[in-house]
Amino acid sequence: DQQVKQNSPSLSVQEGRISILNCDYTNSMFDYFLWYKKYPAEGPTFLISISSIKDKNEDGRFTVFLNKSAKHLSLHIVPSQPGDSAVYFCAVGGGKLIFGQGTELSVKP
Amino acid sequence: DTAVSQTPKYLVTQMGNDKSIKCEQNLGHDTMYWYKQDSKKFLKIMFSYNNKELIINETVPNRFSPKSPDKAHLNLHINSLELGDSAVYFCASKGTGGIEQYFGPGTRLTVT
């Protein structure tokens, strides 16, 4: 049973617009929520995180929102750039991370 | 400088063989992990070591044996390889008090 779900396997966005990636989880006991970005033939790269005591964390063009009551996490990228095209994974937990299955983002010029 | 490195990057071998994948991190981290990414792209944790001690062992067949000679290295040895072992294996590390894990580039294992 998947504890972390990314229901959109792919997303296509125009350059300069906002990209919104979504993630749902089942266990309300998770403490930390993270987003990773992965290019082909490379390992995942950490992007941004948020703890369960916050509902928003921002780092440059990347903002993560946490809705604990809905058990929902989202990543906003604005403005989107072609170099953002990659697979994005959400991960939840603490010492042990549980990953979603990823959303492939394509940013078109 | 590469923070988390893995060797080899590609490994093609036959069923029944024994193989090892090596991982090294130069970040000074205390905790290291092995993950498996299967054909459905799920990243699943296999093992975690903290200061050379095993702290997480998911339901992985005992043909897989991790070994940590020191806290900068975590190697994965696989005995009697099976077709279902074909996957990309990622090593990762994490510092004390940190949340984010830093991943290596992955090792694509193909069992024929």
* B103: contact with A, CB 8 A cutoff: yes
* Residue contact B56–A99, C-beta within 8 A: no
**Cβ contact A81:A68 at 8 Å:** no
Res B87 pLDDT > 90: yes
> Closest by alpha carbon to B92, among B39, B7, B21, B23?
B23
Chain A residues closer than 8 Å to B42 by CB: 99, 101
Res A35 pLDDT > 80: yes
Q: What is the pLDDT of residues A60-97, one digit of tens each?
A: 999 999 999 999 999 999 999 999 999 999 999 876 89
Q: Rounded to an integer, what distance in angstroms lies between the CA atom of residue B74 and that of residue B68?
A: 4
Q: What is the mean pLDDT of residues B46-66?
A: 89
Residue type, B4: V
* Residue contact B55–A45, C-beta within 8 A: no
Q: What is the mean pLDDT of residues B43-54?
A: 90
Confidence of residue B1 (pLDDT cuts 50, 70, 90): low
Percent of chain A at pLDDT exceeding 70: 98
| Average pLDDT of every residue of chain B | 93
**Cβ contact B57:B34 at 8 Å:** no
pLDDT at B42: 86
pLDDT at B51: 85
Q: What is the mean pLDDT of residues A16-37?
A: 94
Res A14 pLDDT > 90: yes
Nearest to B48 among A36, A49, A96 (CB): A96
Q: What is the mean pLDDT of residues A47-59?
A: 96
Nearest to B56 among A49, A87, A96 (CB): A96
> Closest by alpha carbon to A86, among A71, A97, A75?
A75
pLDDT at B100: 92
pLDDT at A29: 86
Structure-block tokens of residue B30 = 């205390």
Q: What is the mean pLDDT of residues B73-80?
A: 96
ω before B8 within 30° of 0 (cis)? yes
**Cβ contact B10:B106 at 8 Å:** no
Q: Rounded to an integer, what distance in angstroms lies between the CA atom of residue A22 and that of residue A13?
A: 14
Which of A4-8, B55-59, B85-89, B107-111 is the least confident region? B55-59
Structure-block tokens of residue B9 = 């990057």
Which chain B residue's Cα is nearest to A33? B99
Q: What is the mean pLDDT of residues B41-53?
A: 89
